[in-house]
Amino acid sequence: MARLGSWVKPFPEGIYVKPADAWIDPSQPKATALVTHGHADHARGGHDKVFATPETLAIMAVRYGPQNGAPVTYGETIRIGQVDVSFVPAGHVLGSAQIVLEHGGEKIVVSGDYKRRPDPTCASFEPVPCDIFITEATFGLPVFRHPATSGEIDRLLRRLRDNPDRCILVGAYALGKAQRLIMEMRGRGHHDPIYIHGALEKLCALYADHGVPLGELRLATGVPKEEMKGHIVIAPPGQLNDRWSRRLPDPITAMASGWMRVRQRARQQLVEMPLIVSDHADWDELTQTIRELAPREVWITHGREEALKHWCMTRQIKARELNLVGYEDEDD
């Protein structure tokens, strides 16, 4: 009898599903790609055909131009070659999906990136019991425990109120984190206009088009300093200490990322106000998910694999590292 999951093969450039002749999140152009979500380390341009959720295809179109896309909605099952494939919410960013593969009586779930806590910008992670669970491990160490997001947002809004003559410049990734941050602030009663860097404009518009009500956003470009006093300004992390930020009124520099748990990182990036807000599962979410799904094997794609592998082994769950390359470029 063939080894469990022998029809799915990890390569450095992605996961190959042999009986479908298709690749999951390949980092090289392929004939057929199944894409879990729109982050640049998972979704790349140049494939001949892309299976993804309609939201992910829309994000890819904004970033890479029109795709030869085959939209698959959540819950729909399609047949590719000899594999039944369905896309299930991953709770990571708009349109993010776990890809469920069924073949020869075995079920494999490729989770892409995911988190378990609520996110007002996307559908919640749906647990799918399976034989093999393929998981990320971005925050796969017991020291990584993300605090409640509401507390981080309240801290941010309090600081804003206490500094009416300054603005708070928040660094947030353009896809997912920026929109989630906006929605979390709206949810905590902040309805003032929020200023955004031009690099966020298209993706914010895309979220709004997909039914995520971001409220009033204004482009920060060309706005007089005076007008932005007492307001939130959001920009990609790379612009935080850039020339761009000099046009802002005495900004307090903040950054929203799971890595802000590591003080040294915050200091390196000259962040005055670290906000621990992550779109990835923390240690508890990773282990809780594996417990809940009770897979026979866990395969780990990227991140801090060692500790999670060890945790699985001590619970009699077979675990292996896939050593995929090129992940973790743009999101946390």
Which residues here bind Zn ion, judged by CB under 5 A?
39, 41, 113, 327, 331
Residue 38 vs 69, nearer CB to Zn ion:
38
Alpha helices in the chain (DSSP H): 54-64, 149-162, 177-187, 201-209, 225-228, 263-268, 283-293, 305-314
Q: Are 13 and 90 within 8 A, CB to CB?
A: no
Residue 261 vs 302, nearer CB to Zn ion:
302
Residue 113 vs 152, nearer CB to Zn ion:
113
- 121: tokens are 């910008």
Residue 25 vs 184, nearer CB to Zn ion:
25
Residue 249 vs 303, nearer CB to Zn ion:
303
> How near is the Cβ of 303 to Zn ion at its closest, in Å?
9
CA–CA separation, 234 and 178 (whole Å): 7
Amino acid identity, position 250: D
CA–CA separation, 54 and 34 (whole Å): 12
> How near is the Cβ of 3 to Zn ion at its closest, in Å?
27
Helix, strand, coil percentages (3-state) for the chain, rounded to 5, are: 30, 25, 45
> How near is the Cβ of 187 to Zn ion at its closest, in Å?
22
> How near is the Cβ of 36 to Zn ion at its closest, in Å?
8
> How near is the Cβ of 43 to Zn ion at its closest, in Å?
9
Residue 30 vs 39, nearer CB to Zn ion:
39
Edge to edge, what strands does the sheet with 69-71 contain? 8-11, 14-17, 22-24, 32-34, 49-52, 69-71
How many CB atoms lie under 10 A from the CB of residue 270?
10
> How near is the Cβ of 92 to Zn ion at its closest, in Å?
6
Which helix (H) or strand (E) covers residue 320, if one does? strand 318-321
First-to-last CA distance in the chain?
40
Residue 220 vs 255, nearer CB to Zn ion:
255
> How near is the Cβ of 37 to Zn ion at its closest, in Å?
6
